[in-house]
Amino acid sequence: MTLSNHHQFPLACPRWSASRLALVVALFAAAQCAQATAPSDLFPQPVYTTVTKANAVENMGAAKNLGDLPTAHYDAISADGKLLMVSSRDQPEAYLVDAQSGKKLATYTIGKVPQGVAISPDGRWGMAVAAGEDTVSVIDLKTRELIKTIMIGKTPHNVRFTHDSQTAYVTLQGGGVAVVDMSSLKKVDEIPVPGVKGPHNLDLSPDEKTLWVRDFVGKVAAVDIASRKVKAVIPVGLGHGGIDVTPGGKYVVTGAIADHVVDVIDPKTMKIIKRVDVGQGPHGVRASADGRWIYASVTGTNRIAVIDANTLDVAEQVPTKGEIPFWLSVVGND
């Protein structure tokens, strides 16, 4: 019986020695491993995610949890990477933490329903929101003391400082965006955001002329600060989520906790250019400081989705050391 070529090829295999076969297998395995991205490549700058059920903040690149942070909710990292501020979901508290050792340096009683926290770019101020009190607490990071509580407006949620640390913007779910002068530590203005329901999280364009505001139900507004006009309202994924203007202003990205996508917006056209499926419940979003990667905390799968900013595809899904990764802060882009 004549064998086909398909059957003849395996008959030649016995001529390969066992050592030679082992070498081929080893080389193939090495090639496969080389294609996987190392943590140092995925996280070129330290990335910190709150892991609520673990009562911790995880340093993703080091796979290390900074613990003793009850129901860690929101976090912010200082520009020099030394200090973290963290809010609790269930306690009326915010914490100041040594980002390297994980040592808790101070605990602040800020009031009911803590939400966002922020550290000014110059490292002088910390701010912590208490939505249930309609306040933001101001912390002097030189003395590490809470020095003032500001009545800010109905149901505040999160904070964004300008690059010069002179102004802070605070979203108000029962209003617009409050403006705080950091010299006087007073609310000086409120910018309306018609067209969205419950301003939730926010970021600034690189030139600081545009506020990008993510609402509570599935829209993003672009607001011209000088004219106080809404330039666009963009439907995005369902529910609320974080928002980030990536370094250099190439993209605006936002999560959607009641959905499974990260929406990528072109700020020039104000159109969605891609909806990246990352798994159920993405909330926090933040790009690496070099703009190479976009991170999303996926609450439903307990992973950090790492999106390649060049292809806008998911490069890796990195498991967290605990459940409910909620918010992200990145050294150099926070």
Q: What is the pLDDT of residues 10-27, one digit of tens each?
A: 334 344 454 554 444 444
Query: Using an 8 Å Cβ cutoff, are 82 and 96 in contact?
Result: no
Please enumerate in sequence order all residues whose Cβ is within 8 A of that of 316, keeping only pairs 6 or more positions apart, or say none.
37, 42, 305, 306
Please enumerate in sequence order all residues whose Cβ is within 8 A of that of 25, keeping only pairs 6 or more positions apart, or say none.
none
Is residue 39's pLDDT more than 90?
no
Closest of 243, 245, 292 to residue 267, by C-alpha: 245
Round to whole Å and give the CA distance between 154 and 331: 31
Pairing state between β 64-66 and 252-254 = unpaired
Is residue 1's pLDDT more than 50?
no
Is residue 102's pLDDT more than 60?
yes
What number is the average pLDDT over the span 107-116? 98
Is residue 196's pLDDT more than 60?
yes
φ/ψ of residue 76, rounded to 5: -145, 140
What number is the average pLDDT over the span 301-320? 98
Closest of 164, 166, 138 to residue 152, by C-alpha: 138
What number is the average pLDDT over the span 49-73? 97
Is residue 277's pLDDT more than 50?
yes
What number is the average pLDDT over the span 105-129? 98
Round to whole Å and give the CA distance between 202 and 204: 7
Where are the extended beta strands (E) located within 173-209?
A: 177-181, 186-191, 201-204
Query: Using an 8 Å Cβ cutoff, are 182 and 125 in contact?
Result: yes
Confidence at residue 141, expressed as pLDDT on a 0 to 100 scale: 98
- Token pair, residue 177, equals 């965006």
Provide the 8-state DSSP code for 112: S
What number is the average pLDDT over the span 63-89? 97
Confidence at residue 168, expressed as pLDDT on a 0 to 100 scale: 98
Confidence at residue 29, expressed as pLDDT on a 0 to 100 scale: 42
Which is higher by pLDDT, 39 or 59? 59
- Token pair, residue 213, equals 């505001």
pLDDT tens-digit readout, 215-239: 999 999 999 999 999 999 999 999 9
Please enumerate in sequence order all residues whose Cβ is within 8 A of that of 236, keeping only pairs 6 or more positions apart, or say none.
214, 218, 219, 220, 254, 256, 263, 265, 272
Query: Using an 8 Å Cβ cutoff, are 46 and 330 in contact?
Result: yes
Confidence at residue 26, expressed as pLDDT on a 0 to 100 scale: 44
- The count of other CB atoms within 10 Å of the CB of residue 142 is 9
Torsion, Cα of 64, 73, 165, 207 (10° steps): 90
Q: Which of 2-6, 95-99, 173-177, 258-262 has the lowest mean pLDDT?
A: 2-6
State the Rg of the chain over Cα: 23
- The DSSP element (H or E) to which 22 belongs, if any, is helix 18-35
Confidence at residue 38, expressed as pLDDT on a 0 to 100 scale: 63
Confidence at residue 20, expressed as pLDDT on a 0 to 100 scale: 54
Q: Is 30 left (phi over 0), alpha (psi -120 to 50) or beta?
A: alpha
The pTM score is 0.89
Confidence at residue 13, expressed as pLDDT on a 0 to 100 scale: 38
Closest of 273, 279, 270 to residue 298, by C-alpha: 279
Decide: helix, strand or coil at residue 159: strand
Q: What angle do CA 115, 196, 111 make, to 5 degrees?
A: 20
